[in-house]
Amino acid sequence: MAEDNQDAQAPGRLAVIQDLANSFDVRRGRDDLATPGEAERWLGKHRIAVPAAGLTAADLAALHGLRAALRGLLLANNGGDSRAQDLDVLNGVVGESGLRPTFGPGCVVDIDIPAAGFVASLAAIVAIMLQASSAGTWSRLKACPQDACNYTFYDRTKNKSRTWCSMSRCGSQAKMRTYRARQRTRARSGTRPEHSSPAPRA
């Protein structure tokens, strides 16, 4: 995980989606939700109801699918392409669970989930996203665009300008790649800039 990410924890229940997205560590290839038992413990940790009979392999696959869709949307929050299949996953959960927003005191948005079973567990996660969208915090939750990372962080900058989970690691690696690509292009074209720029420090 990024070493300078201590300030990038999402507020409130939005941290649940952040933790779900980061439960698969792309850099190390480690999945903290690799088994139904691990997924049940994760849901319990975040106060999301688990069916009395426990999770099946199909339930685990559905949770993994929701995680992948959320990560795709978090990459889109960071300038990536918005993919229709990610939205289809969320809309599928909404449709199957009957999830619907309601207004509480002070016009605070609450979420009603009529369904039972594991789809209600998935809907509880989607509900967090809906509430964050209503509160204006969803767009600040982003996934690092570095392919070998994709770590999810919360952007606390005033203008939502943060791109990298870690400027000292992913950001500097991206700058170095850009610098080297520019140097290769110049070498192939046989041109040299009037004033050569020094290589960025890693």
pLDDT tens string 37-50: 999 999 999 999 99
Helix (H) or strand (E) holding 188, with range, is helix 172-189
pLDDT score recorded for residue 58 = 98
pLDDT at position 130 over 70: yes
Output phi, psi for 196, to 5 deg.
Answer: -70, 135
Looking at every residue in the chain, the average pLDDT score rounds to 86
pLDDT at position 51 over 90: yes
- Integer Cα distance of 177 and 154 in angstroms: 25
- CA distances in angstroms from 114 to 26, 40, 101, 139, 175, listed in the order given: 35, 21, 11, 27, 49
Res. 103 pLDDT band, cuts 50 70 90: confident
- Integer Cα distance of 71 and 165 in angstroms: 14
pLDDT score recorded for residue 148 = 83
Query: pLDDT of 147-156, one tens digit each?
Result: 889 999 999 9
pLDDT score recorded for residue 179 = 47
pLDDT score recorded for residue 117 = 95
Weakest-pLDDT range from 1-10, 40-49, 102-111, 155-164: 1-10
Q: Is pLDDT larger for residue 64 or for residue 181?
A: 64
Res. 105 pLDDT band, cuts 50 70 90: confident
Superfamily of 8-159 according to CATH: Jann2411-like domain (1.10.3300.10)
pLDDT at position 198 over 70: no
108-116 long-range contacts (CB < 8 A, ≥24 apart) are 109/134
H helices within 22-56, ranges in order?
36-45
State the average pLDDT over residues 179-192.
57
pLDDT score recorded for residue 76 = 97
- Integer Cα distance of 137 and 156 in angstroms: 10
The reported pTM is: 0.81
